[in-house]
Each structure stands twice: as structure tokens, then as C-alpha cells.
Amino acid sequence: MTKPQGPSVQALAHRLAECPQDFLGDPFLDGAGSVHSAALVSDVFLTMGRNVLNGAEAQAIGQAGGTKRKRVNRLRIIQVACWLLGGDWFAGRKDLCDEAYSFLKEGLDDVAYYVDAGLFVTDQDRREELARLMLAALGLTPEGETETQARDRLAGLDSAARHKVIQETKKAEERAKKIREEQAKKAAEAAAAKTSRE
């Protein structure tokens, strides 16, 4: 089944570039911070035609593992994503609320580990990445693109996937280096043994 068309990536990226600094404020976490992230999500859902978050949903938005720095960054990214979902195209789109909630609750966890929230406002590639991540999570294809084009472009921008590939490459290089060192050591031992026999 073909995915429905959403707004254009360019329009979403433009909206992200205009994100007010308030959305990048420190989230209320562990008794400190000024922005209540779950309240922002509730506001967005009201605009989309859904009820505000219930207590369990609000708590789930705020929960994530990792260091406090990662948790703060994740909530700041959620706040920026709320700005994106607050655009005109999503107003009254109650049909997208379940997917939007899942995206906000857990769809940003990986990227929060690698990308500072502010880059989703200031950096062109990261704006496009967030727009594409959101559209994919909502089951939408960007306006003017095929599903294949959208998938390929997101794959090229995916920060979390890129970092995983880099980490796997580093591990493979370390394994190869260790093998070369072991082979050199064995060769040296064999040469020493041969010399002592002579």
C-alpha cells in the first residue's frame, strides 16, 4: 500500500529554521528547568484534535535512560519536534496522533545520543533529517517524492545509523590491528626459535 503524501521536506525544514529559542529551553527535569515538555506535547495534540496527555503518557514522554545530559537533550529534541508538529499542515490531523505520540515518546532516543538538539534548528542537514524522521514515523511520504526516494534520502542523513557504522568500522579496525599484532608476534617468535636452533 502506498503511503499518503505529507508536507514537503523543504517546508518542514523552513519551519524548523524559524523555531523560537523558547523551544530549546532547558526541560523541567529532576526539579530544574523551565520548559514542561509533556505540556508542549499536550498543546500539539490539542491542535491536532486529540485530548491532552494523561498522566501515564506524560510520564512516558519524560522517561528515558542514559545520563542526565542525554535525557535533557532528548527532551529538547522533543520540544523542537513539537514546534514542527505545531505547523498548519498537522492541525486537525487526529489520524496521525498515535504515530506522533510514538515518535515523540521513543522515536528520538537514538538520535538524541548523537546530535545536539540545537543542530535541528541551525544545521540544514539536521533539519532535513528531523523532518524526514518525523514523516517516516507518521507513515507519510514527503510531497513530491516516491517512497524509495524518501527512504534513500533519510538513510543518507540518519545520524544514529551513521554513528553505528562508524563504531562498527572502528571495532573491525581494532580487531584487524590485534590480529596483525598477534601474527607479527608469532612470526617474531618463530624467527627467534629458528635462530636459537641454528
Residue 78 has pLDDT above 90, yes or no: yes
Nearest-angstrom CA–CA distance, 99 and 117: 21
Render pLDDT for 147-176 as a digit per residue (tens, 0 to 9). Answer: 999 888 988 887 666 556 555 666 656 776
H/E stretch holding 197 reads: helix 159-197
- Proportion of the chain above pLDDT 90, given as a percent: 63
pTM, two decimals, is: 0.79
Render pLDDT for 119-139 as a digit per residue (tens, 0 to 9). Answer: 999 999 999 999 999 999 999
154 by DSSP, 3-state: which? helix
123 by DSSP, 3-state: which? coil
